[in-house]
Amino acid sequence: AIVTVVDNELPTLSLQNITRKLTSIDGLTVPATEFISTVNDNCSYTITPANFTFDCTDVGSQQVSITAKDGAGNEVTKNAQITIENPDALVEPSEGNTVVSSPGNYTVVDSNLLIHLSDNVDGATVSINENFHTGDELRLATGFTLPSGVTSNYSASTGVLTLSGTMTSQELQSIFQNIQFRTSSSNVLEREVVFNIGGGVSNSDNDHYYEYVSGAFTWEQARADAATKTLNGLQGYLATVTSASENEFITTKLSDDGWLGGSDSYTQINSALGSSLYANQTEAEAKNSRQLSTMQKF
Q: pLDDT truncated to tens, each residue of the chain (298 aa)? A: 788 777 889 999 999 999 998 876 667 899 999 999 999 998 889 999 999 999 877 889 999 999 999 988 999 999 999 999 887 777 889 988 888 888 889 999 999 999 887 778 888 999 998 899 999 999 999 999 999 999 999 999 889 999 999 999 999 999 999 999 999 999 989 999 989 887 667 677 776 777 777 778 777 788 888 888 776 666 778 887 778 888 877 777 666 667 777 655 677 777 767 778 888 877 766 665 444 333 333 3
What stretch(es) of the chain map to CATH 2.60.40.10?
12-85
237 by DSSP, 3-state: which?
A: coil
Domain 12-85 has CATH 2.60.40.10: yes
Regarding beta strands 107-108 and 75-85, do their DSSP bridges make them parallel or antiparallel, or are they unpaired? Answer: unpaired
Strand partners, 178: none
Cα separations (Å) of 249 from 5, 130, 192, 255?
A: 73, 9, 13, 12
Q: Among positive and negative, which fits the CA dihedral 138, 252, 186, 93?
A: negative
Q: Among positive and negative, which fits the CA dihedral 225, 228, 234, 237?
A: positive
Dist. CA 254–CA 208, nearest whole Å: 14
Strand partners, 19: 83
- Closest by Cα among 126, 129, 117, 107 to 175: 126
CA 93, 177, 186: angle at the middle one, nearest 5?
A: 85
Q: Structure pTM?
A: 0.56
Domain 88-199 has CATH 2.60.40: yes
